[in-house]
Structure 1
């Protein structure tokens, strides 16, 4: 039994058109031109009927395309006896759909790769016997111990149980370098294990894991139609009217009906139908490759026209976790001594700042002491008995109870202090703040250069802190003490639109939904924020906002260039054909070339060379700030996550946490 080629199964009408053409050549070789004319003309009428039915269906959906020109051209070439041109027009129409499918498939290869790599199997590990059992990823439950073999995909979100491991997270974040994880660190589903087997403890089911959420976003992102594509559809009406008028004029002036057919043959361009969809698929693919999930092609169009950007503060413009900025010892103590005593006591505290103090002490290579006893006064501080004496760490009021000489230290906007006393004597203070992201100011400046000149910060923090951060990053307008509802009203009241809103927390979900373009910092942000946003940045890098806007502008520019390129080339061919200089058959071939040129131009939206060049500049240290975080983002994220671990219980005496 003869196997039907895959191409014929996928594109049966194209295959049939080619078969009819080959049959016509055979008949021509046997000197049967009349048979060839009947074959090509009859097949042309079949194609015209198929296109006519399709046109009626699109009209019911409110979309008027340029298929009417192709149908009239087929009928006209049949009537004037240009039957070879009839077949070429049919091949152009049927081949155009196949060419669009091929181009869109190339543009979407990164999105398709993401879907195909969805984890299917998990190796459940018995902690007692050490035996593994292969189960479906959907059967994994929270708390299961899993084995991930070398080069395997992590099936569900989890915490690393092994001492250390390296993972390739490029399909999730765009980060090309392997990311090192230590015991207890979070591991994302969809990341690829390195060269050593690793054990993880599942913290989510497959359905609730990061990879499945990304897949859902990708599905949503790949099934939309941008406003600029609808705009391309609207070009069909004036283009069709102009083409028919020019063809009629050529016929009237020449008195030759063949001239009418010759003009219409070159007036059947697919660019208006293909250019914009191919360009937007390319732009979405480029965004995904850069760790940015764009949920709809229309979002790229809105990004390209954005006039205003609104930022949340905590976790967006700042890192979202406190960091130690200064150690201020009093007389009799050095900075290292003060930090050692504070960190040793903070080991037994569950306060949000405890992890920051301990991490800073470890960074300086300080050795911490084990307490003989420890107790914590919730929200106030911790008291621990160490070899150096009784150490108190916490708020000024907590320290002042035992140290009358304790005094408040000077704080700038956005800072807070941790006070320390030893045996009733004031030992000094440690200053912490939620540091502004290193590239936040450059991000605001880059957005302004891209045309997003109006900026605003919305935050629930106090005005003094908000204004301090705004001054650091170059934001002019600030609204502090905002509830989620206040943020929604503030965004709705903005007049310079479209408006971009950038946030990361649960409280940002409502305002992300009402903005023209909501951008969620999804690397550590809430699921609610990611689901309500139009764009999800998978890497903890605010400068990706700039890259998203730039990709939107590049995509729209390429789409419009491709549309107008097709229109201009078609009009030029029509004018030449109106003077009888292009026979119908040659015109059909030239129009096919126009379609190919237009689609190839639209594929530039994929931006492969631009992204490769940007990555190269990052590696040699010559990239602008908005791309400079690529190499360091994974390390930065790991450090922030370490500082953010606040669920520290009060340990019994002598039980020093590892």
Structure 2
């Protein structure tokens, strides 16, 4: 193009026109090849207008206009690249922070720098200040502060104590720490996040295909208007003047940029949208289905009361201390809750011997000179005298305790509703979700209590994973969004129109089956995902129609012959710019949107959660 300009300035117009025509026709030939390839991919009419406009301007001698069209096409691609880079900034930031090296302690305390790929479980690692944690592990130092925003979207630093889980991809604070690796790099959380992000970045939204279909009527109307202008004016230049303002760049650019911007915004909030079509499905969700334990509830039972057996000589603190001392050797979820309750009251755990866990029933151990049993009512009734079943209210859970050969009392526990559960459901209703349902493997009384507390009208309790899949498949009001966690939720997450794995951090079977992975253990992010889907699709469609209507307006004016071909080509470039800038609005948060309430990140959801039953520890169904 610079050569053409030099020839024109020197006064050699014939050579300038010839050179420009050859160059423009070469570009048109190249675009024709792209057009044929697009036809085989089902993309009708996208390049036909551009090729016709270039050829027609060259034929009628408007070589400057043909160069402007070529410049417009290449400039439009450059603008799209810029918009793509802006929209995917947050996605790329995740990829760029992938750990590559680790400092491993060798024999004699020598620290050696090694590639992260050769680190294995059990290796002792040193993480320097401001360094990225290379693999999943546990903290050996007394304490540390870590930036987990790349994983969870939570900007506040997370404080970790000795023994706490450290996630690969988090950034160490101001002090060097020591840790022991528990996973290899390929099995660590951050590698799973990177895989999800790459999958999201490589996908193509259905709305983009919808934009391709817009090209067919758009192209037909453009040719009809251009042909009518030529026929009415009997001037072929008028045909060119209409076509140069009718290039389909807005259709090519708007939807991809809006989708990538929405995905980027979601990733920044700790919500990984794995599949491009999920954004459109999220925007149309009408039914929301929830798992109970660990989703609507905190998944960590807390002690709410202690009831002593009739004639008991122990105090409440004595009973709790003995139960916690026996439970310290149990892996059941209730064990951790009982121990936590004892520690909150400042009760030290007593040494225990002869501990044995009775699968699905309870645990027994000798604490001092006394045999202590903790578990289900049937287990305690069979092994003690004086047993009495404790009456419970909705949502309460009972852990029974026997001391010696006598029934000693009951620990009353509950799995409380998440603090933001009611607000999240209200937000979903505001977003147009008309139906809600609770699916759980828990007992009917407990499930109904949680549903009533959260404002959910439809409840199905005591469900096996296959029952949940059947229930979701039978829902008539669709699309259906299922929110859950844990391995047993994987089938129903895959069966739903949109499956959302919450707090899974990319490492569980649930996250592999889900369409959306929420990295932060925060229920409100489910509503935020729906909000982002609706806003992104609204922006995508608005951007498409903005470009189409502006182009139609310019075409209508051009039929009157008042827009020269060169000016029309330049005006179309402003249409492209307006389309891109409007699509990039999907990066921002809509005015009035509330930032979701952050909760402490879950350590992991990779275990099967035990079923919470009202009569004590039970089998792992929920």
C-alpha distance in structure 1 between counterparts of 2:475 and 2:543, whole Å: 33
TM-score normalised by length of structure 1: 0.87
What is the CA distance between 1:373 and its match in structure 2? 5.1
Does residue 250 of structure 2 align to residue 283 of structure 1? no
Does residue 325 (structure 1) correspond to residue 304 (structure 2)? The answer is yes
Secondary structure at 2:290 match in 1: strand
1:560 to 535, 538, 541: 541
CA distance in structure 1 between the partners assigned to 2:300 and 2:506 by the alignment: 13
Residues 158/293 of structure 1: CA separation in 2 closer, same or farther (3 Å cut):
same
Alignment-derived partner of residue 352 in structure 1: 333
> Which of these residues, 112, 115, 118, is aligned with residue 95 of structure 2?
115
Q: 1:512 to 1:374 in 2, by over 3 A?
A: same
In the alignment, is residue 471 of structure 1 matched against residue 452 of structure 2? yes
Question: Alpha-carbon deviation of 1:363?
Answer: 2.2
1:380 aligned to 362, 366, 374, which one?
362
1:494-643 matches, cutoff 5 A: 494-523=475-504, 527-607=508-588, 610=590, 623=594, 627-630=595-598, 632-634=599-601, 637=602
Shift of 1:400: 5.4
Q: What's 1:7 paired with? A: none
Q: Secondary structure at the match of 2:517?
A: strand
Q: 1:209 is matched with which residue?
A: 188
- Measure, in 1, the Cα distance between the counterparts of 2:581 and 2:384: 75
Q: Which runs of 5+ in 1 are unaligned?
A: 1-19, 615-622, 646-658
C-alpha distance in 1, partners of 2:355/2:34?
A: 77
Q: Does the 8 Å CA contact 2:193/2:505 hold for their aligned counterparts?
A: no
The answer for the alignment partner of 1:656 in structure 2 is: none
> In 2 relative to 1, CA 416–641 (structure 1 residues): closer, same or farther, beyond 3 Å?
farther
Aligned length: 605
The equivalent of 1:268 in structure 2 is 247
Offset at residue 284 of structure 1 (A): 0.6
Q: In terms of mean alpha carbon deviation, does 309-318 or 588-597 score higher?
A: 309-318
Going from structure 1 to structure 2, the CA distance change for 1:532 and 1:345 (only over 3 Å counts) comes to: closer
Separation of aligned partners in 1, 2:184 and 2:603: 23
The CA deviation at 1:539 is 0.7
Of 143, 154, 158, the match for 1:175: 154
| Residue 51 of structure 1, CA deviation | 0.7
Task: Return the alpha-carbon distance in structure 1 between the equivalents of residues 362 and 335 of structure 2.
Answer: 12
The Cα offsets for residues 629-655 of structure 1, whole Å up to 9 and x where unpaired, read as 22x333xx369999x99xxxxxxxxxx
CA offset digits 1:315-362 (Å, max 9, x no partner): 222222322222334676654454334334433545432221121222
Q: 1:230 to 1:525 in 2, by over 3 A?
A: closer
In structure 2, the CA distance between the partners of 1:84 and 1:339, relative to structure 1 (3 Å rule), is same
Once residues 145 and 583 of structure 2 are traced to their aligned partners in structure 1, the CA distance between those partners, rounded to angstroms, is 38
Q: State how 1:72-83 maps to structure 2 within 5 Å.
A: 72-83=52-63
User: Is the aligned partner of 1:220 residue 2:199?
Assistant: yes
In 2, the alpha carbon distance for the partners of 1:499 and 1:402 equals 48
Contact 1:381 1:398 survives alignment (8 Å): no
Q: TM-score, normalised by structure 2?
A: 0.91
Contact 1:504–1:526 (Cα < 8 Å) also in 2: no
Partner of 2:425: 444
- Closer, same or farther: CA 397–71 of 1 in aligned 2, 3 Å: closer
CA distance in 2, matches of 1:45, 1:371: 88
Q: Does 1:48 align with 2:28?
A: yes
Aligned to 1:617: none
1:390 Cα shift?
6.5
Contact 1:190/1:211 (<8 A) preserved = yes
Question: What residue number does 2:127 align with?
Answer: 148
Residue 470 of structure 1 aligns to a residue whose secondary structure is helix
Three-state SS of the structure 2 residue aligned to 1:447 is: helix
**Counterpart in the other structure of 1:195:** 174
Q: Which stretch of structure 1 is more off in the superposition, 453-462 or 303-312? A: 453-462
Compared with structure 1, are the counterparts of its residues 525 and 583 closer, same or farther at alpha carbon in structure 2 (3 Å cutoff)? closer
Alignment partner of 1:491 is 2:459: no
Does the Cα contact within 8 Å between 1:247 and 1:260 map onto a contact in 2? yes
Report which stretch shifted further, 95-104 or 237-246. Answer: 95-104
Structure 2: 5+ residue stretches without partners: 611-622
Rounded to whole Å, the distance in 2 between the matches of 1:400 and 1:104 is 66
Instruction: Evaluate the alpha carbon distance shift between residue 380 and residue 509 of structure 1 in structure 2; reply closer, same or farther with a 3 A threshold.
Output: closer
Aligned mates of 1:526, 1:411 — CA distance in 2: 37
Match of 1:106 among 86, 89, 101: 86
| Cα deviation 1:456-508 (Å, max 9, x = unaligned) | 22222222222222222122222223222222222222222211111212121
Alpha-carbon distance change, 32 to 369 in structure 1, aligned in 2, over 3 angstroms: closer
Match of 1:363 in 2: 344
Rate the CA distance shift 1:348–1:299 in 2: closer, same or farther, 3 A. Answer: closer
Q: Is the 8 A contact 1:521 1:539 kept in 2?
A: yes
Cα distance, 1:186 vs structure 2? 0.9
Question: 1:563, CA displacement in angstroms?
Answer: 0.3
- Post-superposition offset of 1:452: 1.4
The equivalent of 2:614 in structure 1 is none
Q: Paired residue for 1:70, among 36, 47, 50? A: 50
Show CA shifts across 1:34-64 (max 9, x none). 2221122221111111111110011111211
Equivalent pair of 1:341/1:368 in contact (CA under 8 Å): no
What is the aligned partner in structure 2 of residue 163 from structure 1?
142
Q: CA separation in 1, counterparts of 2:518 and 2:315?
A: 43
Q: Is the Cα contact below 8 Å between 2:242 and 2:555 reproduced in 1?
A: yes
Aligned 8 A contact 1:566 1:595 in 2:
yes
Residues 506 and 526, structure 1, Cα contact 8 Å, conserved in 2: no
Offset, 1:424: 6.2
Residues in 2 aligned to 1:50 and 1:401: alpha-carbon distance in whole angstroms: 84
Q: Deviations over 1:420-452 (max 9, x none)?
A: 455667654211122222222222221121111
1:175-222 per-residue CA deviation (whole Å, 9 max, x = no partner) reads 101111111111111111111111111111111111111111111111
Work out the CA distance in 2 between the residues paired with 1:313 and 1:590: 56
